[in-house]
Amino acid sequence: MRVTPKASRNEVVVESAQEGAPPKLRVYITTVPEDGKANKATIALLSKFLKVPKSRLTLICGHTSRDKIFQLS
């Protein structure tokens, strides 16, 4: 998943994948990427999009990168 901080809107977009690959998510958030604020906002937005509690999402990889991997437990 690719996260774009400091965007003009909060939105989750499902990008179509190439043949045989799973679709990719692109997340746009208005929060600035400092002190983990963008990661918290991303978790909140994903939990609404997936309709799961925030406690079920765990950031596995990409704490300081735009490319992130989350685990849904």
Q: What CATH number has the domain bearing residue 61?
A: 3.30.1200.10
* Structural domain count, the chain: 1
pLDDT given for residue 5 in this prediction: 93
Domain of 48 in residue numbering reads as 2-72
Tell me the per-residue pLDDT of 55-69, one tens digit each, with 9 for 90 and over.
Answer: 999 999 999 999 999
Tell me the per-residue pLDDT of 27-39, one tens digit each, with 9 for 90 and over.
Answer: 999 999 999 999 9
pLDDT over 80 (residue 1): yes
Percent of the chain's residues with pLDDT above 90: 77
Query: Residue 73 and residue 65: Cα distance in Å, rounded?
Result: 22
